[in-house]
Amino acid sequence: MSDSACSLIERYDLLLLDLDGVVYRGPEAVPGAPDQLLRARDAGAELLFVTNNAARTPEQVAQHLTELGIVTGAGDVVTSAQAAAGLLAARLPAGAPVFLLGGEGLRAACLEVGLTPVTDPDAAPQAVVSGFGPQMPWQRAIDGAILINAGLPWVAANTDGSFPTERGLAPGHGALVELLSRFTGVTPSVAGKPDRPLFDEALRRFPGARALMIGDRLDTDIAGARAAGLDSLLVLTGVDDLDAVAAAPQSQRPTFVGTDLGALFEPVPHREGDQAPARLGALASEGRGTVAP
């Protein structure tokens, strides 16, 4: 075993950041997150915002982050909608119509890769693509279910069961995926976390970087990082807590656990071969919770 006491921001030069529950909750920033991310940039880290939310375009996400004080360009945002559209573009001819079960983020991602998003089931779609779209009419879900049941291939942006809001947890796109799967008996190809396509899309932008995935969900952010061979930091500002970490299977164990993004700057020994995540900052000093080995 080898020990070192440098901070995470000294070990990693690329931070892959989940958004909901890590950087913001709904329209509001997680307390302290903007200042901590600006500090990370000042220390030389690249920030890449990696989100399973397929409803908004990268431009809209970047604008929201900029309004929160984190100046961000669309190229610094990677969405599950982009990963889903990329999967379909690799399988379908240029310009192919795809039936859209989602919002503007998914529509824009399809156009970006040369596909034609349609909402008319009689427009001869060659596939169905789905993602979070809170304004989507129920009739479109019915039409999509009929198309999937008839044999069209289906790509889902993600399978998140919930997402945090300022008023509490809300049902995510996974609820629709479960409904469609139950009706059709079909399991979709999934682009977002914890599956690889979203991570592959992100890492292509910074080849060779030492990347750390930061998230608030064990079953998506952390499981996805492990599957992609990345170290991870779970922050306790969103969905999962220390009790969830203690009960998590090995496939969902983070490398590090911290109260919030301030954990990036705390010195921490990293003992190679340890099975339990290292607890950082206030968690270590206060001894809160138990993490099983």
Active site residue 20: yes
Nearest partner of 58 among 74, 76, 72, judged by Cα: 74
d(CA 119, CA 59): 23
Give the distance from CA 144 to its chain's centroid.
24
Other Cβ atoms closer than 10 A to 5 = 10
Length of the chain: 293
The amino acid at 72: T
Which residue among the candidates 13, 18, 76, 231 is catalytic per the annotation?
Answer: 18
E strand residue ranges, the chain: 14-17, 24-25, 28-29, 46-51, 77-79, 97-101, 116-118, 128-130, 154-156, 162-165, 168-171, 189-190, 211-215, 231-235, 256-258, 278-279
Select which of 20, 143, 160, 216 is catalytic.
20
Q: What are the residue numbers of the active site? A: 18, 20
